[in-house]
Chain A
Amino acid sequence: MKALRNFLDKVKPSFEEGGKLAMFRSVFEGFETFLFVPDTTAKRGAHIHDCIDSKRVMSMVVIALIPALLFGIYNVGYQHYLVTGQEMDSCGIISYGLACVLPKIVVSYAVGLGIEFIVAQWKKEEIQEGFLVSGLLIPMIVPASCPLWMLAVATAFAVIFAKEVFGGTGMNIFNVALITRAFLFFAYPSAMSGDSVWIGTEEIFGLGGATNVVDSFTGATVLGQVGVAQGVATPVLTNAVGGQLSVMDMFIGLIPGSIGETSKIAILIGAVILLFTGIASWKTMFSVFVGGALTAFLFNQIGTTPIMNLPWYEHLLLGGFCFGAVFMATDPVTSSRTECGKYVFGFLVGMFAIVIRVLNPGYPEGMMLAILLMNLFAPLVDYFVVQANINRRLKRVKK
């Protein structure tokens, strides 16, 4: 550690204004403050000083995401082996998962951080650390078979139009990772929804390969199956090769879906880390689940379509509901900031997610659109909370 510090101190002058490597100044600084807590403090504007700066916050979120990521890697390989009908061996499963997921992570970080570096250097600012989390979230919310070039285009779009034009990290209105997914979803619907995208069946780097896809293979997500079902009752939910799914399977997460969203256990571990370190607000997280559960319960009572009849607890376990609630609705930049507002924001996210799922047959999953919609209304929620507070205090003065 000491040697690293000495090395950084030695090379630092050449990166400063006028030095030989001045064009990489922002890169160097970003790297240095990533490794060591910076020795400078905010010069103006900040009135509350905390020992934990935003780089440390972001690192903590990344750590919280790791369990879901690891499980996602395993699940991608597992689903592949399941539908190709090959004999399961854990080594093959993990290597196929890695071959599928790692390039996505690399592409997402390379494109996003590349743009951030260029912008930081151009505007002579420090590199902002926001993309550290977004860059990991992006590969986790796309289907396993999403092509890399699409991911690159969507990431570039999101970083430029959802973040940099608003002024960079901390100024964005919408969650950057979700904008990436929304862009993919509307621009390339055939690669982002439907039955054939959730499970990687193609050979990657010589690993895997669909030599003999089993006959009964349906790659639809569970919500997709319910969405297309006819009649009134919820259909029997199956995995990719026709085996029946129990609630426990949905909780463990060996089901088709976006890479990081399937395992509720892994997400729960992440949630515990986020709540324990105080990074995510329990109020938002809790009220998302309350909103979702109440709305789904209400639809259960009406119960005229298969998806209305899906039990409320399964609604919460399926699709990206948990992932969105834990990692995306709690985004401190795009959610409400007032304490009361967090309850309202979370509740409405959960409510709209279920409403979109149930009432719009075009979108089997509603979490993405619900969070983006509420991102837009978060400042309004805050405004009313603040106004209510002002009015309450005014009344006290007048008495």
Chain B
Amino acid sequence: MSLFSKNNQETFFNPLSSSNPVTVQVLGICSALAVTAQLKPAIVMGLSVTVIMSMSNVIISLLRKTIPNRIRIIVQLVVCAALVTIVSEVLKAFAYDISVQLSVYVGLIITNCILMGRLEAFAMQNGPWESFLDGVGNGLGYAIILVIVAFFRELLGAGCLLGFSVIPQCVYDCGYLNNGLMLMPPMALILVACIIWVHRSLNKDLQEK
């Protein structure tokens, strides 16, 4: 079986759209609400989840035949916890400001439902390479949604992108005001709902009868 067979391609690309962890499976919503007020933390969060998910998928996949069935969740948790700690320390060392902004949410990646879901549903049954692709695909699928939500929240809520103000002063002079509601968590939920709405109206087979 080649590295980029049709099956493997599906493993990688499906989570980006037709089985997206956030918009289709509606997992990982809590962190999507919490870290998307600005674009920068959202990107870092998305990347952290991608890294942790791909690595933990590979590790669990390598161990899958030796893990006793009854304690598999604990083993998965230990692997995740170790990786989350590593990522958290790396962020503190090299991107301190962002790690302060993300605060507990990096640590809480361990409880991210997508992570445990993929380990349980995919890595326990498949080889390391497929699991790696699945982890990267799901991580990126999560990251895309985070970035889209954060883009709109930062643009409309603060008039900035990545911290640079992009709405010209003359617009403010005409009476424009930033939308404070965009910075509050409920608006992230409504934006995710809008993405789901658009996504489903484009993909007819996702619509429920």
Please give the residue numbers on chain A whose beta carbons come within 8 Å of chain B beta carbons, in ascending order.
Answer: 147, 149-150, 153, 161, 183, 186-191
Contact = CB atoms under 8 A, between A and B. Distances in A.
Nearest to B190: A161
12 contacts: A147-B175, A149-B176, A150-B177, A161-B190, A183-B181, A186-B181, A187-B179, A187-B181, A187-B182, A189-B180, A190-B177, A191-B177
Interface string B175-208: 1110111101000001000000000000000000
A183 B180 CA distance: 10
Contacts of A190: 177
Interface in B148-199: 175-177, 179-182, 184, 190
B180 A188 contact: yes
Contacts of B190: 161
A186 B179 CA distance: 8
A190 B176 CA distance: 12
Sorted nearest first, the 9 A-B pairs with minimum C-beta distance are A187-B181, A187-B179, A186-B181, A188-B177, A187-B180, A147-B175, A189-B180, A186-B180, A161-B190
Interface of B: 175-177, 179-182, 184, 190
Nearest to B175: A147
A389 to B, nearest CB: 34
A187 B180 CA distance: 4
A186 B180 CA distance: 6
Contacts of B182: 187
B154 to A, nearest CB: 15
Contacts of A161: 190
A45 B175 CA distance: 49
Contacts of B175: 147, 149
Contacts of A183: 181
B199 to A, nearest CB: 15
A147 B182 CA distance: 19
B184 A186 contact: yes
Contacts of B179: 153, 187-188
A189 B181 CA distance: 9
B2 to A, nearest CB: 45
Given A153-B179, A186-B181, A190-B177, 4 more contacts: A149-B175, A149-B176, A186-B180, A187-B181
Nearest to A190: B177
B198 to A, nearest CB: 13
A153 B176 CA distance: 12
A183 B177 CA distance: 14
B36 to A, nearest CB: 17
B174 to A, nearest CB: 9
A28 B65 CA distance: 69
Nearest to B156: A187
A150 B184 CA distance: 18
Nearest to A187: B181
Contacts of B177: 150, 188, 190-191
B157 to A, nearest CB: 9
Contacts of A189: 180
Contacts of A150: 177
Contacts of A186: 180-181, 184
Nearest to A149: B175
A174 to B, nearest CB: 13
A189 B182 CA distance: 12
A149 B181 CA distance: 16
Contacts of A191: 177
B83 to A, nearest CB: 38
A249 to B, nearest CB: 33
Contacts of A187: 179-182
Nearest to B157: A187
Contacts of A149: 175-176
A189 B177 CA distance: 10
A153 B179 CA distance: 10
Contacts of B184: 186
A261 to B, nearest CB: 23
A188 B172 CA distance: 13
Contacts of B181: 183, 186-187
Contacts of A153: 179
B73 to A, nearest CB: 36
